[in-house]
Amino acid sequence: MDTVLVIGHRNPDTDSICSALAYAHLYRHLTGRDTVACYVDDLAPETIWLLDHLGLQPPMLVNDVYLRVSDVMETDPPTLRPNQTLREAGLLMEQAEMRGLPVIDYGRRLVGLVERDALASHYLDQLQLPEKIDLPVSLLLRMLGAELLAGSSSAIFRNHIWIATMTAATVRATVTAGEGVIVGDQPEVQQAALDLDAGCLILTDGAPIAEALIAEAGRRGTIVFRTNHSPFATALLLQQSIPVDRVMTHALAAVTVHPDTPLGEAKDQLRKQNLSALAVVDDHGRLVGLLRRRQLADQHRRKVILTDHNHPEQAAPGVMESQILAIVDHHNLGGLQTLQPLAIHCDTVGSTCTLVAEQYRQSGAPLPVAIAGAMLGAILSDTVQFRSPTTTERDRVIAAWLEERSGEPIDSLARRMFRARLPNPIPAAAWWAARDRKIFSFGALRFSISQVELTDVAEVMPSRAELCLALQAGVASDGLDTAFLLLTDILDQSSLLIAANAEGDDLARRTFAGTPTEHGLYLPGVMSRKKQVIPPLAAMLMG
């Protein structure tokens, strides 16, 4: 719960991964908090090569940043067995200050959940005797702290029980054979009950009974036991001797949740079922914890820091339900809303790692050689070795500083990184359409732009038809209006823009003064999606 997750955008590029790694290390040093770098989706080939070259482990792979039940559940809750009584359940609930308890077998497999409301309902239904019970004698002896005088403790008593606050004559007129009688120091009532072949005789207040009556009870098969409780207390204890398996919820699907279930789903289930708690079970049905409604009142939220993005569409699933502590980014603002104030460090430089590296230099925080190399690689990647128009003098200055601290020559590192961008063998069109893919919304239009930066684009790219089909699949899956793929040639310092559909083609032609070719719209001098593609598209759509 207290771990801070530092995470970049979906479909991460090298800057997204390396800025998360570097900022997590810096934040941990500056604050002393447990901080972990994370990423979603797949690592790009260039990023894999860079991390391997530097001997760095990648950030932690996550599917989302939702809080899970396992993050807040109680891991060692008190439990009940099916044969324990309502009284024992009630006492345990009171002691633990809980309104619901899981019931498990001896293998810790969940068999039910007992709610306090179920106990209350049972008490209201059984306010007075006579009451027909169906309980083992051994259980009655345990609950009443009783001494067995006649009969077998392995027997089961199934019948009504009367409180004999009456004369012997009234007993003979009321009690029938097989029924039970609660009686005190009343020899004549005791005898009358035996004469009627009572099934059970419960002596209260430690009352005496003649040996002759005990012998007669043995011959008749009447169970006799003695307790020190009063008749009133005995009657109450009998009511509370019902095993919990008779009142617990047996519909396990309604009262259980898995440890990996997102916390929001568990909250909905608690509300829907009107429960005070959910039993948390593993894949084998074994109890591993308890999620109590009271625990959710604290409004737990995952603590996250975003690097290299601030658009909701680009964020990991669950970010909007998290507590965002900070944003470090070099892109335009994307309408992300937060519930609490946060630290924002956004600036117009060519790479988020430029901003992070500047913080290292300004704070004097220790900078591991490998982290310095990772930030240098990210800056070279995002600025295309300073060829991108987004490059600033700050990028060049901090890159030289990182070159000195990492021992990685800029020219050699950039050349090997760019060579590693394209997997071998050349991947299918779906790979190209998904690379560094970001979703944007301007006006009424939602669209994505993917970008691949490499050399000799026309020689290695799939056919335009294949790429269009892959882009159209993304449009359909994410409910977009259109999608674009920007294929940037690093050496030629130009790009090909390919649209998913006719709407995208029309928008591109109206926005850019490019040259249509068989491969796509040729855009000389265009290398930056952030600076040369997004602003013109936004102006066209919002104008």
CB-based contacts of 261: which residues, under 8 Å, 6+ apart? 68, 69
**Amino acid present at 522:** Y
Least confident of 93-97, 123-127, 489-493: 123-127
What SS3 state is found at 418? helix
**pLDDT attached to residue 242:** 82
**pLDDT attached to residue 373:** 98
For residues 27-55, average pLDDT: 96
**Amino acid present at 39:** Y
Q: How many CA atoms lie within 13 A of 125 on its CB side?
A: 10
Output 472 or 293, whichever has higher pLDDT. 472
Dihedral pair phi/psi, residue 95, rounded to 5° = -65, -40
* Helix axes of 410-419 and 45-54: crossing angle, nearest 10 degrees: 140
For residues 85-93, average pLDDT: 87
* Helix axes of 393-406 and 369-382: crossing angle, nearest 10 degrees: 150
Strands (E), 363-473: 438-442, 445-454
Please give the Cα distance from 456 to 165 (Å, whole number).
103
**Amino acid present at 184:** G
pLDDT bracket for residue 297 (50, 70, 90): low
Both structure tokens of 205: 């207040």
Please give the Cα distance from 471 to 450 (Å, whole number).
9
For residues 233-246, average pLDDT: 84
Output 166 or 151, whichever has higher pLDDT. 151
Torsion, Cα 474 480 481 484, to 10 degrees, reads -50
% residues pLDDT > 90 (the chain): 65
**Amino acid present at 196:** L
For residues 510-522, average pLDDT: 95
What SS3 state is found at 6? strand
- Per-residue exposure over 261-276, b if at least 16 CB sit within 10 Å of its own CB, e if not: bbbeebeebbeebebb
**pLDDT attached to residue 247:** 80
Helix (H) or strand (E) holding 134: strand 131-136
**pLDDT attached to residue 124:** 58
**Chain position carrying tokens 């009456």:** 166
For residues 139-153, average pLDDT: 93
pLDDT bracket for residue 123 (50, 70, 90): low
For residues 90-103, average pLDDT: 88
Closest alpha carbon to 320 in 308, 328, 312 = 312
Q: How high is the mean pLDDT of the chain? A: 91
**pLDDT attached to residue 131:** 57
Vertex 478: Cα angle to 473 and 484 (nearest 5): 60
pLDDT bracket for residue 130 (50, 70, 90): very low
Model pLDDT for residues 264-273, shown as the tens digit of each residue? 889 899 888 8
DSSP annotation string for 502-536: HHHHHHHHHH---EE-SSSEEEET---IIIIIHHH
**Amino acid present at 307:** T
Model pLDDT for residues 417-473, shown as the tens digit of each residue? 988 888 888 899 999 999 989 999 998 999 999 999 888 888 889 999 999 999 999
Model pLDDT for residues 358-388, shown as the tens digit of each residue? 999 999 999 999 999 999 999 999 999 999 8
Q: Which domains does the chain have, with CATH numbers?
A: 4-67+302-419 (3.90.1640.10), 71-123+245-298 (3.10.580.10), 429-542 (3.10.310.20)
pLDDT bracket for residue 274 (50, 70, 90): confident
For residues 517-528, average pLDDT: 94
Closest alpha carbon to 475 in 447, 451, 450 = 447
**Amino acid present at 395:** D
Cβ atoms within 10 Å, residue 325 = 21
Output 267 or 125, whichever has higher pLDDT. 267
